[in-house]
């Protein structure tokens, strides 16, 4: 029996990037999936996944997780379709780099409203259904950025990702008697459209040079894949991690280990 067989999982932001990697791995392990995303590619992604994972059950809902009414309606629809919710992966998030001193309130709130409030909305909508189960799991996508490291221009993003650490731990304490676990994943550099966008914005003529520069600062010498992150999420979502709650798991190829990027032996 596959470790997520017959489990129902909601993955926010699952149409691309890290979320897509998580969805693919969950499908491999037998989960039924509901993607909550407002990306234009959602329907195309769902169709492609249905072809790639023949016989799997996957549905998509176009939703802006800032819209609490719409979020509640989509969560109710998932339960109507699948009968239950066992797993929630709070993956949806945004990052826009700007200097703190000149950052507008709109840019600040863009991060806060999606990365924090949106995650709050979906989690609050899902918990009443999770309480019906004997075992459920919430996996929150934080980042090494904020809790562990930061670069210039990342104040809004880093603040929200650090906040998700407190959110995840407090949830774990509050929900443990309901047999609901809450853990956080802290990715380093994973090769996603967001990272590729950084490459294009930094060096439009040769974005690969930026990616190669990032990889050079990682002890493993490369960026992670979305499927590698998905495997960690699947572990935390499954019974394999049944005695783990309130903790954070770094997946960064060792990028946060060196004191500097230039010291060699």
Question: So which residues are the catalytic ones?
Answer: 157
> From the CB of residue 260, how many other CB atoms can be counted at a distance below 10 Å?
7
> From the CB of residue 24, how many other CB atoms can be counted at a distance below 10 Å?
17
Between the CA of residue 142 and those of 19, 50, 188, 232, what are the distances in Å?
Answer: 13, 28, 10, 13
Q: What 3-state DSSP class applies to 175? A: helix
Rounded distance, CA 228 to CA 30, Å?
17
211 contacts 233 by C-beta, under 8 angstroms:
no
Rounded distance, CA 134 to CA 60, Å?
26
CA angle in degrees (0–180, nearest 5) for 116-117-119: 65
Element (H, E) at 152: none
Chain-centroid distance of CA 137 in Å reads: 14
């Amino acid at each position: 029996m596959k470790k997520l067989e017959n489990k129902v999982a909601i993955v926010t932001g699952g149409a691309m990037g890290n979320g897509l990697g998580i969805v693919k791995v969950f499908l491999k392990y037998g989960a039924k999936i509901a993607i909550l995303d407002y990306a234009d590619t959602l329907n195309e992604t769902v169709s492609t996944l249905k072809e790639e994972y023949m016989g799997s059950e996957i549905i998509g809902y176009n939703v802006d997780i800032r819209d609490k009414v719409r979020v509640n309606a989509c969560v109710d629809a998932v339960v109507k379709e699948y009968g239950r919710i066992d797993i929630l992966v709070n993956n949806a998030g945004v990052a826009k780099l700007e200097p703190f001193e000149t950052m507008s309130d709109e840019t600040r709130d863009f991060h806060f409203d999606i990365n924090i409030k949106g995650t709050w909305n979906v989690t609050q909508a899902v918990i009443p259904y999770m309480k019906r189960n004997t075992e459920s799991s919430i996996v929150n996508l934080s980042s090494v950025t904020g809790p562990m490291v930061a670069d210039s221009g990342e104040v809004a993003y880093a603040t929200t990702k650090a906040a998700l650490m407190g959110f995840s731990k407090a949830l774990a304490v509050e929900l443990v008697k309901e047999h609901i676990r809450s853990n956080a994943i802290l990715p380093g550099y994973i090769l996603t459209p967001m990272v590729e966008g950084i490459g294009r914005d930094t060096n439009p003529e040769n974005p690969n040079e930026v990616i190669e520069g990032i990889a050079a600062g990682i002890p493993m010498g490369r960026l992670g894949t979305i499927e590698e992150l998905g495997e960690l999420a699947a572990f935390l979502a499954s019974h394999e991690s049944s005695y783990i709650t309130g903790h954070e798991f770094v997946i960064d190829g060792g990028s946060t280990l060196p004191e500097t990027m230039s010291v060699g032996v």
